[in-house]
Structure 1
Amino acid sequence: MSAADTDGVSSADLDAMTAQLGRAPRGAREVSHRCPCGKPDVVQTAPKLPDGTPFPTLYYLTCPRLASRLGTLEAEGRMREMTDRLSDDPSLAERYRAAHEAYLAERDAIEPLGTRVTAGGMPDRVKCLHVHAAHALAAGPGVNPFGDEALDEVGQWWAAGPCV
């Protein structure tokens, strides 16, 4: 991976993310959040990968332990339950739409893709808790309601020590 592919990410962080993902991260711009253990757990990716491929997922989760716990929630049907709540709770739907708009604004400030597609099904459905948790960690509490919920539900994934 060339320096142009990784912008401001240190070699130590690239090594950690490569170990976490089992492959080199693509289009890494910066570490957007660190686990309490100090390792990166969310990387901000370029809106276009180094080969020019559009990549609308601005925040990418790298921690395998957190990814596993979120995968368990997905397998238990949590995404369907969250999506169903959007039609029943106008306030929740508005907060979720605001998360979508914030995501678009952040991504488009880096490089507009000319699409309103963000990630994770926003703003009409929930299809990837990994994306929502990554967004919630990067943006902070109160921005992505489903990311916040998923993180609350998985608890302290870091408590057993570093994932790699």
Structure 2
Amino acid sequence: MNEIDSVSVEDRAAVTAQLGRPPRGLRDVAHRCPCGLPSVVRTSPRLDDGTPFPTLYYLTCARLCSRIGGLEADGRMREMTERLSSDEKLADAYRRAHESYLAERDAIEPLGTDVSAGGMPTRVKCLHVHVGHALAAGPGVNPFGDEALAELTDWWRPGPCVPPPT
């Protein structure tokens, strides 16, 4: 089994409430919202049945996911991808984010591929992936995750996205 037993019962319950289903491949909580609930979880590179999991960092906060969906609907991914071809410094930072992501994933379990997630390193395909990576890794690792977070400002202010488990 790939799941890590160190994830608390309360965190599992919170993530289940956030997702509306039990999490798959859960390893640990990679980032917490200021309200204290998980906002990003780290997942196993493969599910228990051997299927590769699509992302190492899975964004769980429903409110944050919705806000990011708004950015995606506004065309941010297209704009970001276009900037990669004209901004060499940004493209280098994005390539380093890709390499960091691969290194973190492969340290858990190598998948034998240089495909990471979210379109890295040549395009921006999913801002949810980039924001999850930025929250888990911290500022300065994923430039598009950092940029999206800056645009979202205080997404946590209204309080927990789901009732805290009791």
Same fold (TM over 0.5): yes
Distance in 1 (CA, whole Å) between partners of 2:33 and 2:57 is 14
Q: How does 1:110-149 map to 2 (within 5 A)?
A: 110-149=108-147
Residues 52-72 of structure 1 show CA distances to partners (whole Å, capped at 9, x for unaligned) of 111141000000000000000
Percent of pairs with identical residues: 73
- Separation (CA, whole Å) in 1 of partners of 2:77 and 2:5: 33
Aligned residue number for residue 23 of structure 2: 25
Q: Is the 8 A contact 2:2 2:44 kept in 1?
A: no
Q: Output the CA distance in 2 between the equivalents of 1:53 and 1:24.
A: 17
Matches within 5 A, 1:2-151: 5-151=3-149
Native 8 Å contact 1:44 1:60 kept in 2: yes
Amino acid at match of 1:131: V
Is the 1:56–1:117 Cα contact (8 Å) retained in structure 2? no
TM-score scaled by length of structure 1? 0.96
Query: Equivalents in 2 of 1:109, 1:59: separation in Å?
Result: 14
SS at match of 2:39: strand
**Cα RMSD between the aligned structures?**
1.0
Q: Aligned-pair distance for 1:5?
A: 2.9
d(CA) in 2 for partners of 1:154 and 1:111?
32
Runs of 4+ with >4 A deviation: none
The AA in structure 1 aligned to 2:30 is S
Q: Distance in 1 between matches of 2:4 and 2:61?
A: 18
Task: Quickly say closer, same or farther: Cα 1:21–1:68, change in 2 above 3 A.
Answer: same
| CA distances 1:27-73 after superposition (whole Å, capped 9, x unpaired) | 00000000000000000000001111111410000000000000000
Gaps of 5+ in 2: none
The answer to which structure has the higher helix fraction is 1
After TM superposition, give the deviation of residue 8 of structure 1 in Å.
2.3
Aligned to 1:124, the other structure's residue is in SS state coil
Asked whether the equivalents of residues 7 and 28 of structure 1 are also in contact (C-alpha less than 8 Å), the reply is no
Provide structure 1 residue ranges, at least 5 long, that are not aligned to the other structure: none
Distance 2:51 2:132 in 1: 21
